[in-house]
Every structure is written in C-alpha cells, then in structure tokens.
Amino acid sequence: MLNVKISELELKTPIILASGILGVSQYTLRNVIEAGAGAVTTKSIGPRPRKGYKNPSIFELLPETFINSVGLANPGIDEFVNIISNLKQYKFPLIVSIFGDTEQSYIEVGKKAEQAGCDAIELNISCPHAEVSSIGISPSLTKSLVEKVCKEISIPILIKLNPNVTDITKIALAAEKGGADAVVAINTMAAMAIDINVRRPILSHGSGGLSGRSIHPIAVKKVYDLYKELSIPIIGCGGVFNFEDVVEFFLAGASAVQIGTALYKGVDVIAQINKDLKNYLEKNDYNNISDLTGLAHQYKTQEVSDY
C-alpha cells in the first residue's frame, strides 16, 4: 500500500530521509529506517573533509521553521566509504548525497560511493550557502554535470534542485536531458535573520537556508509545476511534518517525499505518518499511494473572464 519505486529503487514506504544533519552516523541512519523510512539520504559528502561554518549555524526562526548555514561539513568521501560499507549490512536503500568543486570531483566522489555499495547518488547542486549552488542556477552547467556523471556511474542519479531560481523547470529539464533518473524538489530557500540588538546576522556565515513548515507551500508549487513538464519521478521535499503534507506532495505530482526538519522532534514522526497514510488510503479506497500522484492536475483552475 505504501511501497513506491523510484527508478531502480524499491521503497517499502514513500518516506525518505532528506540530506542533512542526521546523515553521517550509521546508527542514526539505521534508526530512521527502523522508524519506517523507505530509504535514507546521507549528508552531502565531498572530495575531502570539511569543517563547515562556526556556530551559530542553525536557529529556529519560527515555529517548526529553521534557518541554517552548516557549510557542507562532512568527513570526506575517503573516510565515509567505511560508513557506506557498514550500512550495507542493514539492507536498505542508501542514497549518498555528493558535491564537488569541479565536474571531475563530483565524478570521483560518486564513483567511490558507488564502489562502496550505495544504491543511488543525489547530486547536491543547490545548497544556498555553498559554492555548489552556482551549478543549480544554470541549465547548461546542470546538463553538462549530469551527463558526465551518468556516463561514469551506473546506479540511479537524483538531482537536488535549487528553488532560488527564476524558473526551476528549466533546470529540471536540463537534468532530465542530461540523464537524471529523478529530481528532488526542493532544497532550502536562501534566507537571513538579523539580531536587532547586536545588529548583525544571527548565523555566523550571515546568510543561510530556510527549511521546515514555512517553505512547504513553496515546495508544493514547485512540484506541481515540475510535474507538468517532466517525465522522470519527482521527490517532494520541504516542510513534511504529517501525512497531510505527504498527500499534498503526491497530489501535486510527487512519487515520494523527503523528510528533514520534522525529525528534530524525533524519528517516531515517521511511524505516525505511515500509519496515518494507510488510514487515509483505506478510507478513500486507494490501493497504493502512487495512485495519488498528480491527481490535483485533474482540477481545472478558474480562468479570468471579461465582463
């Protein structure tokens, strides 16, 4: 009833751990799966260790809405391959998020992750407080990177899309033409918060990315727009806290969803969402959650008429 398929990835539930702060510990990732996630995405891993930005790097700006600027802190792929290998014993779909400073470095990191045993690669081309965002705002750079990565890597390639662009569909279509197997929409929104008493930005880096409840309607709109243009699956991401948020993403056109910010309350939220999703599907006589994908597009929006 909750099982979905994204390219070659077979998930028992449509809930995927989003790339972020929970994605570097093998024990944490295992706990997320045990709580009911269908797959997990690691924190973005680069070609070498990176400390990231100093604290404060994350701040709850509004209820269930955070602003963060971690700065892609990670142990580097050469260290992380051991974690990937260890995670394979648990036999769940493992997506490794990667980034690089050149196209070749993306390829090298991706190949090492693939060789270590991961099931898919998510290309981070959209982090709003790091250099990789420059790729995700350009259709030509996106297509070029995806093409080159797809030639060297045989497992599914997912693209994390940048919402801080004029037209996200152009970037997504470029990724699709380059050979991407799916897109993830969306990454965090570029944002800033300033402390009026000390008269400086709250985050040490200054600007950061907004995540959580406040960006959910934006993410739904992006997924809705993408569904009209793409033929590859869309994974909705942004402000998933309950089953209603998941259903909304599916109706807009998603084939799965990622969850991140809500996990600050604990991983039990995943089990509750899955339980409520089953109840919703049974109550509305749907056999599988995939039956909901894109149904909102059957509704015709009202046109402006002349008097």
pLDDT-based confidence at residue 204 (cuts at 50, 70, 90): very high
Is the confidence at residue 8, as pLDDT, over 70? yes
Instruction: Count CB atoms within 10 A of the CB of residue 278.
Output: 15
User: pLDDT, tens digit, for every residue of 249-262?
Assistant: 999 999 999 999 99
Is the confidence at residue 129, as pLDDT, over 60? no
Q: How far apart are CA 254 and CA 292, in angstroms?
A: 9
Q: Are 168 and 226 in contact (CB under 8 A)?
A: yes
Mean pLDDT of 118-132: 82
Residue 288, amino acid: N
Q: Are 238 and 210 in contact (CB under 8 A)?
A: no
Q: Are 17 and 258 in contact (CB under 8 A)?
A: yes
pLDDT-based confidence at residue 128 (cuts at 50, 70, 90): low
User: pLDDT, tens digit, for every residue of 173-197?
Assistant: 999 999 999 999 999 999 999 999 9
pLDDT-based confidence at residue 126 (cuts at 50, 70, 90): confident
Q: How far apart are CA 100 and CA 110, in angstroms?
A: 10
Mean pLDDT of 202-217: 95
Mean pLDDT of the chain: 94
- List 118, 127, 150, 237, catalytic entry: 127
Q: What share of the chain is helix, strand, coil (3-state, %, to 5)?
A: 40, 20, 40
Q: Are 46 and 305 in contact (CB under 8 A)?
A: no
Q: What is the pLDDT of residue 302?
A: 67
pLDDT-based confidence at residue 133 (cuts at 50, 70, 90): low
Q: Are 232 and 181 in contact (CB under 8 A)?
A: yes
Query: What are the strands of the beta sheet with 58-62, ordered from one edge?
Result: 58-62, 65-68, 207-212, 189-192
Q: How far apart are CA 203 and CA 53, in angstroms?
A: 9
pLDDT-based confidence at residue 240 (cuts at 50, 70, 90): very high
Domain limits, the chain:
4-53+72-194+211-298
First to last CA, the chain: 48
Architecture of domain 4-53+72-194+211-298: Alpha-Beta Barrel (3.20)
Burial label for 142, CB within 10 Å (0-12, 13-18, 19+), is buried
At 118, list the tokens.
Answer: 């991961």
State the pTM of this model.
Answer: 0.95
Burial label for 86, CB within 10 Å (0-12, 13-18, 19+), is middle
Is the confidence at residue 14, as pLDDT, over 70? yes
Q: What is the pLDDT of residue 212?
A: 96
Rg (CA), the chain: 19
Is the confidence at residue 151, as pLDDT, over 90? yes
Mean pLDDT of 46-50: 94
pLDDT-based confidence at residue 293 (cuts at 50, 70, 90): very high
Verify whether residue 118 is a known catalytic residue. no
